Amino acid sequence: MLHTPRSLTMPAEWAPHEATWLTWPHCAETWPGMDLPARVEPAYVTMVTALATGEHVHVNCLSEEHVQYVAERLREGGLPDGAPVTLHVLPTDDEWIRDYGAIIVYDADGRRVATDWVFNAWGGKYDRTEQNNRVPAAMAAHLGAERVAFPVVMEGGSVDVNGAGLVLTTESCLLNPNRNPGLVKADVERWLADGLGATDTIWLGDGIAGDDTDGHVDDMTRFVAERTVVTAVEADPTDDNHAPLLDNLERLRRWRGRDGRGLEVVTLPMPAPRFHEGERLPASYANFLIGNAVVLLPIFDDPNDAVAVDVMQRLFPDRRIVGVDARDLVWGLGACHCLSQQVPAAR
């Protein structure tokens, strides 16, 4: 159905999930030249197995034959018999379901609604949209949820919410003319209010080096509690990430909001720069996923891995921090959060 303004609210990621949705790696264009079974699928086995300790996991596959293949890979990887995992035949163009999947929100009566935003492959950078744009309707049908379509380009990784009206996003992405030409901040804020329940939008500047999304916020700054954010910082002043991340840190510290309370800001280090065939990759610990029982944290065989684990464990003492080897994942230009989409629990 077409969008009409109404009261919708996106819950925080740490709120109870019914499930998390993934798409099994299959697109050679995502990880060009890489052996997916050997280099990428092990990270997926880790993610599915860890998430299934606390919630249902849905995985999109290409065909019935692919379902059987994925089931065998998960068994071989140690997924217990009877684990709450459902494999769907739902062909997609690529794996980044955070950006093309339905964003599940609540309406004023507490019913789940699948919001369906226009996906244009990150500003028309890739010819991979036709099958991806069918996923929100399929998710809505599986959940028995109403689907509400928004005539606005937005990817799930471009926003992060605290579940109480605050939304984080970046000027470099949502104000980019390759998304919604002609929209200004006030227009974007109106859509975020209509679709996610935003009462205040916190605008950051640029994203991290190597990010082909024009600056998704989930690669650098995330809510971890209602008034607490964790934000990536780069200590090396000669690194391309130093200045933009410092600017974002200062914006967060200055922001006060309508009530004047401001935010508690926790810093998270960056791993050392990673490159593949001379290309800078968007390696960041901020691309974590908060599950019911675990936090999936990308790690990079870097000295700062241990620092990031410690920061996240202090922020989420009731969840197990699971390191996911993202050294090969990030060659696809994303990691754990980009590859997943949570489904809030029914109320």
Residue 48 is part of a domain; what is its CATH number?
A: 3.75.10.10
pLDDT category of residue 224 using cuts at 50, 70 and 90: very high
Q: What was the pLDDT predicted at 2? A: 44
Nearest to 221 by CA among 261, 255, 267, 262: 267
State the average pLDDT over residues 229-247: 98
- Residues in a beta bridge with 116: 149
Average pLDDT over residues 59-73: 98
pTM of this structure: 0.97
Report, as an integer, the average pLDDT of 109-134: 96
In a domain, 345, yes or no: no
pLDDT of residue 206: 98
Tokens (6 digits) for 222: 């995330």
The answer to whether residue 347 sits within a structural domain is no
Tell whether 3 is covered by a domain: no
> Is 346 among the domain residues?
no
Torsion of CA 139, 287, 313, 24, to 10 degrees: 50
Does the pLDDT of residue 26 top 70, yes or no? yes
Evaluate whether residue 1 is within a structural domain: no
The answer to whether position 2 is within a domain reads no
In percent, the amount of the chain with pLDDT more than 90 equals 97
According to DSSP, residue 305 is labeled H
Question: What's the total number of domains in the chain?
Answer: 1
Q: Percent of the chain beyond pLDDT 70?
A: 98
CA-CA distance, 138 to 330, in Å (whole number)? Answer: 27
Residue 339 pLDDT grade (very low, low, confident, very high; cuts 50, 70, 90): very high
Say if 86 falls within a structural domain. Answer: yes
Q: Please, what's the largest Cα pairwise distance for the chain?
A: 56
The predicted pLDDT at position 128 comes to: 87
Catalytic residues: 338
What pLDDT is attached to residue 3? 47
Position 21 scores a pLDDT of 98
**Is residue 225 over pLDDT 70?**
yes
Domain that holds residue 280: 8-340
Q: What pLDDT was estimated at residue 5?
A: 55
User: Is the pLDDT score of 4 beyond 70?
Assistant: no
Does pLDDT of 6 surpass 80?
Answer: no
**100-103 contacts at long range (C-beta below 8 A, 24 or more positions apart):** 100/129, 100/132, 100/133, 100/135, 100/136, 100/155, 101/21, 101/135, 101/136, 101/139, 101/156, 101/341, 102/135, 102/136, 102/137, 102/139, 102/140, 102/147, 102/341, 103/10, 103/156, 103/195, 103/196, 103/341
What pLDDT does residue 1 have? 41
Of residues 3 and 316, the one with the higher pLDDT is: 316
End-to-end CA, the chain? 23
- Closest by CA to 287, choosing from 243, 319, 333, is 333
Q: For residue 214, is it within any domain?
A: yes
Average pLDDT (16-26) is 98
